[in-house]
Chain A
Amino acid sequence: MEEKKLQDFLKQSAEILQDFFPTDTLALIPLLYSTLIWAVKRKGNLEAEVSGLRLWLEPEVVDNKPDEFILDFFEKQQALQEAFKAEIKSRDMKSLRPAFRALYPVVGLEEPFLQSLFSEELAREDFRLIADQFDWKLKQALEEIKAAEKKPELWKALKKIGESFMSLGWAWLSDDELRAWLKSILGMERQGEEEEE
């Protein structure tokens, strides 16, 4: 029952936000996600929550890891291992290194912005697709948010969504619980869509 309620709420919220973005936008889920995280935390300001998540994308960690670290990363998770079986077997670092650059921030460091951007692919464990589409998808989402955040009405709409979320009685959710709920509901939505098709 609660899940159905939250599912409806997310659907309505996405419809409201859709007006600020082009059709088939990639930015909706990350933006909705950071708004709800902001609402649950109830501190700081929303603009900072959104830009704070994006700030994670600045190059500050050492990207160039040893081959052993990269192989270990791919071998540790069953699904990752399966997806890159041939490359791991032949120690094909030329292919693994670029894939690692895309997958490590999403799967290893669990960057919130990237995890929500690739939530569908993660739910399907389609790691190859994340690696292939990483650059353009990230660039597009950031460009869309940059264009939309200049509109003052967007911030008003986001704040309203955050407040409504709290007033509907989900204040008890922790950050982690909310992430888990969103993940499961996004999965359910996709399943529903597939069934309709």
Chain B
Amino acid sequence: MKRRGIGFDHDHTTHNPGYRRLAVRGFYQYPALIFFLAVFLSSCASSPLLKARTDYLQAQELERSLRQEEATAFYKKSREEASAIINKKPTAEAYLLKGLAEVNLNLWAEAENSFRLAAALGEDKALAWAEELRLYGLARSFEAQGWTETSSRLYDILADKGKYQPVVRAAVGQLVDLKLQARAETEANSPASQKEKSKTLSEALKIVERAVESEPACGYYHYLLAQVLAHQKDYRESLEESVMAKELGLPSEKINRDNDLQIVFCYEQLAKILSGEELTAFQISYNNWVKKWKWLNETTPAWKRS
């Protein structure tokens, strides 16, 4: 895949038309899912369901603003409201909403159950989602038991064939981390093992590039790509991908912080490598971002207190 640089030679990402095209294309990548969610959420017209729906949307809004703790509160609220509706009269819509909130609370097994019940009450799409969640849950438990090959196979299937976006993203993340783990655990004491390490890294890179191609505006995938590129010591591209991830938005404060530290690490590595005019130009463009993000200096993100 040919990666598009975000321009350390330019002022800001948003001034780059290529970047804008990527973002716009990604936004429409899942029209069916977006349409389905919009129809589903707008059809929850009865009052308690409307309240649960509104809280769910509020949670999503807060999550986009990286206010994770408040978003969690609203997901929990939405889940409780959907449960109260189900206790009075179980409906496919209420189970679906409960399942959606549970996915966001990382309650994977509970979400699978809710989607199954939604499907049993007539919501066909929910069955496929439940199946994917079940597979993901299974992969996680295999991984916890140390069966990394089996879990990698399942994550690979989900990353390749999955339709439910949160599960696909989680599977891609786990798969990449498992590849990097295998690479870290391989001793590079012979040409054969060195070759094995390079092969594992190429596999990880292919997985992420495939994910970025399928959803170019997903900040999380750019974050993953930046991580893999750093293993290749390609610090300039890694930095560009990290910046792109930050600008597109990341799903949690924890990932955002990890991504910030990746930016700082790449900046420091590049500052050691570059010299003369190239270094000056790089520092000028890097400082534009630092200013935009309101960091304390080149190596201290705003959240860093110490």
* A/B interface sample: 28 pairs, CB < 8 A: A47-B76, A51-B76, A52-B70, A52-B72, A53-B69, A55-B68, A55-B72, A55-B106, A55-B252, A56-B253, A59-B177, A61-B258, A62-B177, A62-B180, A62-B227, A64-B177, A64-B184, A65-B227, A66-B230, A66-B231, A68-B230, A68-B269, A72-B268, A108-B257, A109-B261, A110-B303, A110-B306, A176-B305
Q: How does the 8 Å CB contact mask read for A53-78 relative to B, with 1 for contact and 0 for none? A: 10110111111111011001000000
Cβ–Cβ contact A68 & B233, under 8 A = yes
Among B105, B181, B303, B305, max chain A CB count under 10 A is at: B305
Q: Of residues 213 to 233 in B, which have CB atoms within 8 Å of A's CB atoms?
A: 223-224, 227, 230-231, 233
Among A56, A61, A179, A180, max chain B CB count under 10 A is at: A61
Q: Which of B105, B254, B265, B306 contacts A69 (CB 8 A)?
A: B265
Cβ–Cβ contact A44 & B257, under 8 A = no
Cβ–Cβ contact A62 & B258, under 8 A = yes
The docked-state distance in angstroms from the alpha carbon of A52 to that of B68 is 7
Chain A residues within 8 Å of B230, by CB: 65-66, 68-69
Chain A residues within 8 Å of B258, by CB: 61-62, 109
Q: Of residues 189 to 240 in B, which have CB atoms within 8 Å of A's CB atoms?
A: 223-224, 227, 230-231, 233
Known: A66-B230, A97-B184. A108 touches B69 (CB 8 A): no
CB B200 to nearest CB in A, in angstroms, measures 11
CB B245 to nearest CB in A, in angstroms, measures 12
The docked-state distance in angstroms from the alpha carbon of A58 to that of B252 is 11
**Is A5 at the interface (CB under 8 A from chain B)?**
no
The docked-state distance in angstroms from the alpha carbon of A59 to that of B231 is 20
CB-based A-B contact count at 8 angstroms: 90
The docked-state distance in angstroms from the alpha carbon of A75 to that of B16 is 37
Cβ–Cβ contact B73 & A64, under 8 A = no
Chain A residues within 8 Å of B224, by CB: 62
Chain A residues within 8 Å of B174, by CB: 59
CB B122 to nearest CB in A, in angstroms, measures 32
- Chain B residues with a Cβ under 8 A of chain A: 68-70, 72-73, 76-77, 105-106, 170, 173-174, 176-177, 180-181, 183-184, 223-224, 227, 230-231, 233, 251-255, 257-258, 261-262, 265, 268-269, 303-306
Cβ–Cβ contact B305 & A52, under 8 A = no
CB A192 to nearest CB in B, in angstroms, measures 24
Q: Which of A64, A97, A111 contacts B254 (CB 8 A)?
A: A111
Q: How does the 8 Å CB contact mask read for A8-52 relative to B, with 1 for contact and 0 for none? A: 000000000000000000000000000000000001110111011
Chain B residues within 8 Å of A111, by CB: 254
Cβ–Cβ contact A45 & B255, under 8 A = no
The docked-state distance in angstroms from the alpha carbon of A108 to that of B68 is 19
The docked-state distance in angstroms from the alpha carbon of A58 to that of B173 is 12
Q: How does the 8 Å CB contact mask read for A143-154 relative to B, with 1 for contact and 0 for none? A: 000000000000
CB B95 to nearest CB in A, in angstroms, measures 22
Q: Which of B227, B255, B303, B305 contacts A60 (CB 8 A)?
A: B255
The docked-state distance in angstroms from the alpha carbon of A53 to that of B304 is 17
Chain B residues within 8 Å of A59, by CB: 174, 177
Known: A48-B69, A68-B269, A179-B305. A108 touches B181 (CB 8 A): no
Cβ–Cβ contact A108 & B251, under 8 A = no
Chain B residues within 8 Å of A97, by CB: 184
Chain B residues within 8 Å of A49, by CB: 69, 73
The docked-state distance in angstroms from the alpha carbon of A49 to that of B183 is 37
Cβ–Cβ contact B257 & A64, under 8 A = no
Q: A62-B176, A108-B257 are in contact. List 14 more A-B contacts (CB 8 A).
A: A44-B73, A49-B69, A49-B73, A52-B70, A52-B72, A55-B105, A60-B251, A61-B255, A62-B224, A97-B184, A109-B254, A110-B303, A110-B305, A176-B305
Cβ–Cβ contact A63 & B177, under 8 A = yes
The docked-state distance in angstroms from the alpha carbon of A96 to that of B73 is 37
Cβ–Cβ contact B254 & A61, under 8 A = yes
Cβ–Cβ contact A60 & B268, under 8 A = no
Cβ–Cβ contact B254 & A48, under 8 A = no
Chain B residues within 8 Å of A51, by CB: 72, 76
Chain A residues within 8 Å of B183, by CB: 64
